[in-house]
Structure 1
């Protein structure tokens, strides 16, 4: 089976991996360079932030993130030579209003990886001596890890590019589906070429709404900008991830610390702003004052695929014979990515799905578009 995957972010690359492992041949298209948009820009926390604030369908896929990335890293690293750097740093959360939900979450939803403990200031100081002493208590999730997403993407691209069943077509926007009797025959690219395949998968993230007209379907996915700031500290300086009021610090193994993140509706603009940077820095220095002594290495913004509930669309597009969706993951594309791709592969190849696919069905597009309007 020949499959065209449109969009080479985390969802497209993981979908490609799942399908080539099953013997399919895959063409992967991207309007720019593979793995360079939102997937590259995110923080890489392998859990939704405050999972109890999300619908069950989000957490159901997210819980597979860490174990599946560990498996993929084992498989890809010998070929790509690149380690994902899955770092089990644990996460401290200081939002008092979330303590009760956080402490009960693992048991309530049978998610042992979200096991959590309540810490007082003395214990916080032992665990992470850089936390400001004004934080008298916190909840701590020891098993939450982060993945270094730029490395993850580089490894997947390197692995797929050497695979005999894979063809990459980058810097090549797809402009049109050529549809006949509810079936896509081929896609028309900006380079003037036409590409045919048996099945077509849409993994275009924040850009997915552009297919609405051609598929005669309102796709309620819009870009939501998120900004990040990167510090360089000594290796292993900050022992844990930290979060307060939706702002977070993520330590990498080599001493980089990723700080974020904001939310802004500004179309497809990825220009970082001074005001937002200031807000991120204030929140981060409030948690870890000593961070202010280290240099800022980089600042950037990415575009999340904002969807009404944050539950992605995975499965066959209504009334189309051979078009599939894997988009709309909003803030959790990275941690939901591996299970989303696995579910898509299972649905495409008629295999037993790892979760009930109903919650993710693109048939929801009909009703949810109306929610976005009101």
Structure 2
């Protein structure tokens, strides 16, 4: 069996990893360099932010993130020499309106990773003395971790390029499916070159709706821009992740701190906005006032693949037996990515599934077309 994967973000790369480790021949196509879009641009929190705000199928996949990425890091590191830098910093959440539901969430949904404790100001200062003293209370989630997603992507790409059964086709834009009798017989690039594969997987993220017209069924996935800011502080300067009103700070091992993130529905526009940047900075300085002393190293934007509910589409495409989807993860592409890829692999190879695949089935696209 050989498989084509269109799109080399986290979901495409993880799908390639899962399949190639099963001995499948994998061909990865991307219209630019692999791993350069939303997967690289995100923060890398290995949990949905405020999981109680998301449908349970999102959390069902995300709960596997830390264990699966830890497992893959151990396997890939000897080959790549690139550590994902998974760091269990825990997270402080200051949104008081979420305290009651947050405190009960772990027990209600049997998710030990989401266990938390209510802290007073004295507790907060002991745990993370950089937090503003204006915050009298917080929830602390000690089991939450983050992964350095650029390093994760670099490791995946490096490892996959070492595999004899994996071929990268970068800077090649696939523009058309060749379809005959409910079967994809090939994929065609802009130069009219046709590539034939037994199965094809769409992992094109925010660009996935572009296939709708050709496939005669709307794929309701569209871009939502998120903007980020990166600071550089001394090593181990900030001891925990912090979040308030959907804005977060994520400390890295070397002292970099990732701050974000905005949400703007402006199509495929990736331009930086000074007003948005100031909103992010104001929120972060409110949580950690001393951060103002340190330099901004970088700013960027990414395009999240938004779907109507945030639940991704994972499974075979309606009416096309060898075309598969793994897209529409919205803000949780990285934390769902490892389990999404494993579920897809299990569906393709008819193996027992890591989670019930029903909530993710693309067959629901038929009824959702009118809402696109």
Q: Please indicate, yes or no, whether the TM-score normalized by the shorter chain is above 0.5.
A: yes
- Structure-2 residue corresponding to 1:56: 56
Q: Answer yes or no: is 1:359 the counterpart of 2:362.
A: no
Whole-angstrom CA distance in 2 between matches of 1:216 and 1:5: 21
SS in 2 for 1:235: coil
Cα deviation, residue 130, structure 1: 0.5
Uncovered stretches (5+) of structure 1, i.e. residues with no partner: none
Cα deviation, residue 192, structure 1: 3.3
Whole-angstrom CA distance in 2 between matches of 1:162 and 1:52: 40
Cα deviation, residue 370, structure 1: 2.2
- Structure-1 residue corresponding to 2:82: 82
Cα deviation, residue 354, structure 1: 1.2
Cα deviation, residue 321, structure 1: 1.5
- Structure-2 residue corresponding to 1:217: 217
Whole-angstrom CA distance in 2 between matches of 1:190 and 1:171: 11
Whole-angstrom CA distance in 2 between matches of 1:369 and 1:192: 30
Whole-angstrom CA distance in 2 between matches of 1:367 and 1:44: 33
- Structure-2 residue corresponding to 1:268: 268
Whole-angstrom CA distance in 2 between matches of 1:275 and 1:338: 34
SS in 2 for 1:304: strand
- Structure-2 residue corresponding to 1:254: 254
Whole-angstrom CA distance in 2 between matches of 1:131 and 1:254: 19
Whole-angstrom CA distance in 2 between matches of 1:316 and 1:154: 28
- Structure 1 stretches of 4+ with a deviation exceeding 4 A read none
What's the C-alpha RMSD, in Å, of the aligned pairs? 0.6
Query: Alpha-carbon deviations, 1:328-352, whole Å to 9, x = none?
Result: 0000000000000000000000111
Whole-angstrom CA distance in 2 between matches of 1:321 and 1:260: 40
Cα deviation, residue 364, structure 1: 1.1
Q: Answer yes or no: is 1:66 the counterpart of 2:66.
A: yes
Uncovered stretches (5+) of structure 2, i.e. residues with no partner: none
- Structure-1 residue corresponding to 2:244: 244
- Structure-1 residue corresponding to 2:350: 350
SS in 2 for 1:220: coil
- Structure-1 residue corresponding to 2:305: 305
Cα deviation, residue 272, structure 1: 1.0
SS in 2 for 1:224: strand
Query: Alpha-carbon deviations, 1:198-223, whole Å to 9, x = none?
Result: 00000000000001011111111000
Whole-angstrom CA distance in 2 between matches of 1:38 and 1:168: 19
Query: Alpha-carbon deviations, 1:279-337, whole Å to 9, x = none?
Result: 00000000000000000000000000010000000000000020000000000000000
Whole-angstrom CA distance in 1 between matches of 2:122 and 2:109: 30
What is the aligned length? 372
- Structure-2 residue corresponding to 1:277: 277
Query: Alpha-carbon deviations, 1:254-279, whole Å to 9, x = none?
Result: 00000000000111111110000000
Whole-angstrom CA distance in 2 between matches of 1:50 and 1:36: 27
Cα deviation, residue 191, structure 1: 3.6
SS in 1 for 2:343: helix
SS in 1 for 2:354: coil
Whole-angstrom CA distance in 1 between matches of 2:191 and 2:242: 46
Query: Alpha-carbon deviations, 1:161-206, whole Å to 9, x = none?
Result: 1100000000111010010111111111124321110000000000
Q: How high is the TM-score relative to the length of structure 1?
A: 0.99
SS in 1 for 2:8: coil
Aligned pairs for 1:125-144 within 5 A: 125-144=125-144
Whole-angstrom CA distance in 2 between matches of 1:274 and 1:339: 36
Whole-angstrom CA distance in 2 between matches of 1:264 and 1:365: 24
